[in-house]
Amino acid sequence: LLLAAGSKGKRFALPHSRIMIHQPMGVTQGQATDIDIQAKEIMRLKKAINDLFALHTGQDKKKVENDSERDFIMSGQEALEYGIVDKVITKREMVNVGKNNRSGVK
């Protein structure tokens, strides 16, 4: 989510990057009511994350829900097509980005 929610135009991936989206996970124990509380919180978090992914990628909410149901692994190019990154850069481009700005972001 941090990558997708980054500043537009400054979200980069390398060609051989692996970018994964998935639903939130959690482990809980205790009384049935405690487990129910935690399950509801995970479902609330899942909806919030899916809404944010849809907002930042331009994907339909239903597509994000379906894709994140299980581990959904993308290459840099696939993440670009999905809307998670703005550009797939090469190692050479990374060096140039670093020279133009001390923070390493152009």
Residue ranges of domains in the chain, CATH in brackets = 12-100 (3.90.226.10)
Q: What are phi and psi of 3, to 5 degrees?
A: -65, -50
No. of helices (H) and no. of strands (E), the chain: 4, 4
Between CA 2 and CA 57 the distance in angstroms is: 12
The one-letter amino acid code at 10 reads K
- Does 8 score more than 60 pLDDT? yes
pLDDT at 66: 98
Q: Within 1-106, where are the H helices?
A: 32-57, 61-67, 76-82, 91-100
pLDDT at 21: 97
Q: The pTM is what?
A: 0.79
Cα dist. 30→20, 35, 37, 45 in Å? 31, 6, 11, 20
